[in-house]
Amino acid sequence: MTQGLTAHLTGQVGTLSLDIDLSLPATGVTMLTGPSGSGKSTLVRALAGLIRLKGDVRIGGETWQDTDIFLPPHRRAIGLVFQDAGLLSHLSVRGNLEFGRRRAPQPYAIQLDDVVDLMGLSGLIDRSTVRLSGGERQRVAIARALLTQPRLLLMDEPLSSLDPESKAAILPYLQSLHQALDLPVLYVAHARDEIAAIGDRIAVMAAGRILSLEDARPGPGLEGRTQGEINALARAALDAGLSPRVSD
């Protein structure tokens, strides 16, 4: 497997003790799931450089963190998408996208027109962001993140605040991410429909550790299980003292 990202991180955040060993391929969407409070969002923040844990983070041939190096968020080529789209309300959709592109080094590997097509924004491009639905706002937020030309896209429960109708409308766009993007994506989710529809791989986290990392394919693995079943497996593995496991 070609390594896109490797992270070995340890530390204490509040009452949570973290011991993380994570490797992501150079492309594809890895879904990160597990019980609430297991450290998923903390891992996202650590990869983004928003908090500092002990250890190392590398992507390709570039070191973002080790014993001597700690790149701040603005020096890590990372696209971030959270529950709150965080759009600039005084700018149109186009203005928000252009804002993201201004952060990117040239030449642009990801073109504005391609991202607009990928996220279905052509009919919204000149609209004020205050007139967008929740799902539309998240599509703009994802497009803006992509236009920063990231080497890693981090998405922390981007659909959790949407109603079922808005969520159903945006899922087809997210399904195309793994086919259209040549970069690793780490996507935090609890909902079974998101995990099944979007992921190429599924990582289960509990109590600050990655317990399993598997291909999201039909069969006896995690795909198709309910979130309650996934959480139960995570707790059982932790109680049994099992070490993290990565499928071939």
Question: pLDDT tens-digit profile of 96-133?
Answer: 999 999 888 777 778 899 999 999 999 999 999 999 99
Q: Is residue 241 scored above 50 in pLDDT? A: no
- The model's pTM is 0.85
Asked whether residue 232 is assigned to any structural domain, the reply reads yes
Number of domains in the chain: 2
39 and 162 both lie in a single domain: yes
Distance CA 114, CA 118 (A): 6
Same domain, 127 and 31: no
Mean pLDDT of 23-47: 95
Domain that holds residue 112: 87-150
How much is the average pLDDT of 71-91?
94
Check whether residue 137 and residue 20 sit in a common domain.
no
Sheet holding 78-81, edge to edge: 78-81, 152-156, 184-188, 28-33, 201-206, 209-215, 245-246
Closest CA to 18 of 40, 1, 35, 36: 40
Domain boundary among 124, 150, 176: 150
Name the phi and psi angles at 89, rounded to 5: -70, -20
Same domain, 143 and 165: no
Is residue 82 one of the residues assigned to a domain?
no
Rounded distance, CA 110 to CA 88, Å? 21
> Which residue has better confidence, 29 or 180?
29
Question: Can you give the pLDDT at residue 244?
Answer: 41
Nearest partner of 202 among 212, 192, 193, judged by Cα? 212
Q: Which of 6-20, 40-54, 164-178 has the lowest mean pLDDT?
A: 164-178
C-alpha closest to that of 209 among 43, 81, 62: 43
